[in-house]
Amino acid sequence: MNNPKEITRVLFENFQPQAIYLFYAIGYVAIAVFIYGVYVQLRKYRRGKSDGSWNDLLHRFIDMAKTMVSHRTLVRRDKSAGRAHGLIFFGFVLLFIGTSTITLEYDILRPLFGVQFWYGNFYLLFSLVLDLAGIGLIVGLIYMMYRRKWLNLPKLDYKRVDRQVGDPDFDRNQYRREDWAFLWSFILIGVTGFVLEATRLVWLSGRPEVWDYRIWSPVGALLAQLMQLIGLTAEGASNLRVGLWWFHGLLSLTFIACIPYTKIKHIFTAATSLMFKDPLAGKRLPRVPDEQKTAGYKTITDLTWKNLLHLDACTKCGRCQEACPANAVGAPLSPRDVILSLREFANHALSAKEIPKEAELDIHGKDIGQVFMETLWSCRTCLACVEICPVAVEHVPIIVQMRRNLVEAGEMEPLLEKTLQTIHKTGNSFGESKRKRAAWAKELPFEIKDARKEPVDVLWFVGDYASFDPRNQKVTQSFARLMHHAGVNFGLLFEAELNAGNDVRRVGEEGLYELLASSNIGTIQSCDFKSIVTTDPHSFNTIRNEYPDFGGKFEIEHYTTKVKQLIESGQIKLKKKLDYRVTFHDPCHLGRYNKGYDAPRDVLKLLGCELVEMARNRDNSFCCGAGGGRIWIPDPVGIEKPSANRMKEAGQIEGLQVFVVSCPKDLTMFEDALKTSGFEGKFIVRELIELIDECIEYEAWEGLPQAV
């Protein structure tokens, strides 16, 4: 029987001491290069501004670990790539642990303390696990090569949508070369590791403690027997082993040394980005610090250290670009390109020993690394990019911060500037007198309470479009009838209600937003009520997620949640069922922003409708194009509107009768798109409130004024 301590891996047998010393010297150099690269990266991050994301680190770490182990962000909407990455990730982790274990025993525990554990059953199991890990790594890498070379996925094309052919950074070939260098070097490390294992087995085939246990290295054993079949002798394997050993070792050490300088660093930056992610990124935008002289981001040093980390975490996977509605309709915006431009700028300006002068740090403009004004204004702030990013890059907050600087400099569409001035003057985007905000209520056969003057259970924050747009006013009146029919004690703010500011803030006009928010908060706090309801998802988001930062923490519901409760409790009695074949469009600010996916669908089922989902639904819903202030900015001639693109998607549903929305801006955008996209007469656009209204038979007594 073999001595268990003889059943182990041979490392440096037959190597001259000088060769071993040389290998260790090269290894120390590689580690030194790695450490210096890490230092340069950390120095770069320290040159960014502070960020308050250091709270609850243990919880953040646990959540990050769960995300990485489950690969939940990577398998979404691209299962094949996610699973292949899982093979690469777990294969790499196990091989890294294996190599570290060898180093721990061979270089530290054995020479210093005489501790030895890398033999016998532990070694055999260790060898089997690493073989399986290595084959998983190689399989994953081969699929990634196939995917990149033969699938021709548009999201893996790095050509920039905001540049022209001939521009120096249009094609970004350097990224393509880096990707292939990464894949080839990684797969060569894996393949040469197996071949090296096989040559070792052939070389030591005469030793029972090696050859008799070769099954525990199944891949190496198979290759070894193939080598013997083609005539490789033990002596030949010994000679081949030396060259392979040096090639494999030097390639591995070079790989380690290059980590901080290349794509490989995403191994660390992606994990850290996930750990420091903001669960309310984009839903709650940051305030401008009191000590900050100018609003937003003008120079690369205005970004926070976490922003700079996010730039490095980007793996160029293109999922954000694929999900972006602006990109889908040909606008000059790719969220990935914005991030990569800023990363290139940061690497050039902040990785140097000395930071360039401020004039050379401006991230706005037309030069390499700068971001075009047209690119920033193309964003709908729909959060599709943030929601799908597997490494938690926060594109929208960065874009809005850059917009803030543009707004402060007056670099915006004249119509947008005029709208902002109108909101500042009148408190609404329609330029109407404040006294007309509740004029729609005069046509109702009952009075609505003034929540400023008497207590109510529910305070209804109506919003601009629901208050002033003639088409939406009809929906608003219907909702008022529903609330009255259900016996809900509700009231309005009347002329004291101002634009909630959600889109004003996402345009980048932070000063005006704070003015609107402070005024609304003061008015709401002066009222006696239990909860707020709104039919406007944009108002819902900012009141729910952003007003608390200004001292206004309120319980608020979107109307779909409220109506569902009223139907289920019997307060709203449905007298008939609808048999419509419908599809539902998830509003960005109700869906992606606030996860309000189920209530609208539950209400449609209660109404008896047959719901057929569009391909892009729930968290992958397609933006109507109105968000981020784009409803106030004219679209360029010749470019398809996102709303028209959505109509085409709905038009593919056979027998569709009603395209259902639950947002005033959606109603406006999609009714216009229906007229221009060739589907008018094939189906109609309706607010969910209107469908509910169809199912109710109002009694004569409900025409009387609401009881006090």
Each residue's pLDDT tens digit, 507-540: 999 999 999 999 999 999 999 999 999 999 999 9
Whether pLDDT at 326 is above 80: yes
Residue 684 pairs with which residues in a beta bridge? 658
Contact residues for 544 (Cβ-Cβ < 8 A; gap 6+): 554, 556, 594
Instruction: Provide the whole-model pTM.
Output: 0.93
Whether pLDDT at 10 is above 90: no
Mean pLDDT of the residues in the chain: 93
Looking at residue 167, its pLDDT comes to 84
CA dist., res. 101 & res. 110, Å (int): 12
Average pLDDT value for residue range 555-569: 97
Backbone angles phi, psi at 543, to 5 degrees: -65, -40
The model's pLDDT over 232-279, given as tens digits with 9 standing for 90+, comes to 999 999 999 999 999 999 999 999 999 999 999 999 999 999 999 999
Task: Give the burial class of 79: count Cβ atoms within 10 A of its Cβ; 0-12 exposed, 13-18 middle, 19 or more buried.
Answer: exposed
Beta strands 458-460 and 490-492 are parallel
Average pLDDT value for residue range 450-464: 97
Looking at residue 248, its pLDDT comes to 95
Residue 610 pairs with which residues in a beta bridge? 581
The model's pLDDT over 617-627, given as tens digits with 9 standing for 90+, comes to 999 999 999 99
Structural domains of the chain, ranges and CATH numbers in brackets: 13-48+195-274 (no CATH), 56-157 (no CATH), 289-294+308-411 (1.10.1060.10), 416-694 (no CATH)
Whether pLDDT at 501 is above 80: yes
Looking at residue 72, its pLDDT comes to 95
> In terms of Cα–Cα distance, which of 297, 296, 172, 196 is closest to 252?
196
More confident call, 271 vs 165? 271
Looking at residue 108, its pLDDT comes to 87
For 131-146, give one letter per residue: b (16+ CB within 10 A) or e.
Answer: bebbbbbbebbebbbe
Percent of the chain with pLDDT over 90: 83
> In terms of Cα–Cα distance, which of 383, 432, 449, 374 is closest to 406?
374
DSSP codes joined into one string, 488-548: --EEE-GGG-----HHHHHHT-HHHHHHHHHHHHHHHHTS--SEEEES-HHHHHHHHHTGG
Q: Provide the pLDDT confidence category of residue 706 given band limits of 50, 70 and 90.
A: very low
The model's pLDDT over 597-612, given as tens digits with 9 standing for 90+, comes to 999 999 999 999 999 9
Q: Provide the pLDDT confidence category of residue 705 given band limits of 50, 70 and 90.
A: very low
Q: Provide the pLDDT confidence category of residue 701 given band limits of 50, 70 and 90.
A: low
Ranges 424-428, 680-684, 703-707: which has the least confidence: 703-707
Beta strands 531-534 and 458-460 are parallel
Whether pLDDT at 704 is above 60: no
Torsion sign, CA atoms 584, 695, 665, 424:
negative
Average pLDDT value for residue range 330-355: 93
The model's pLDDT over 375-394, given as tens digits with 9 standing for 90+, comes to 999 999 999 999 999 999 99
Beta strands 449-450 and 490-492 are parallel
More confident call, 706 vs 110? 110
Ranges 62-76, 294-308, 688-702: which has the least confidence: 688-702
- Give helix 335-350 / helix 305-313 axis angle, nearest 10°: 120
Q: Provide the pLDDT confidence category of residue 559 given band limits of 50, 70 and 90.
A: very high
Percent of the chain with pLDDT over 70: 98
Q: Which residue in this structure is represented by tokens 């299962």?
A: 79
Average pLDDT value for residue range 567-581: 93
Task: Give the burial class of 3: count Cβ atoms within 10 A of its Cβ; 0-12 exposed, 13-18 middle, 19 or more buried.
Answer: exposed
CA dist., res. 644 & res. 678, Å (int): 9
The token pair at 34 is 């790695």
Looking at residue 48, its pLDDT comes to 94
The token pair at 264 is 């490989």
Backbone angles phi, psi at 287, to 5 degrees: -75, 160
Q: How many other C-beta atoms lie within 10 A of the C-beta of residue 296?
A: 20
Whether pLDDT at 295 is above 60: yes
Q: Is 497 left (phi over 0), alpha (psi -120 to 50) or beta?
A: beta
Torsion sign, CA atoms 204, 210, 212, 217:
negative
Contact 588, 619 (CB under 8 A): no
Q: Tally the C-alpha atoms within 13 A of residue 396's C-alpha that lie toward its C-beta.
A: 31
CA dist., res. 269 & res. 247, Å (int): 28
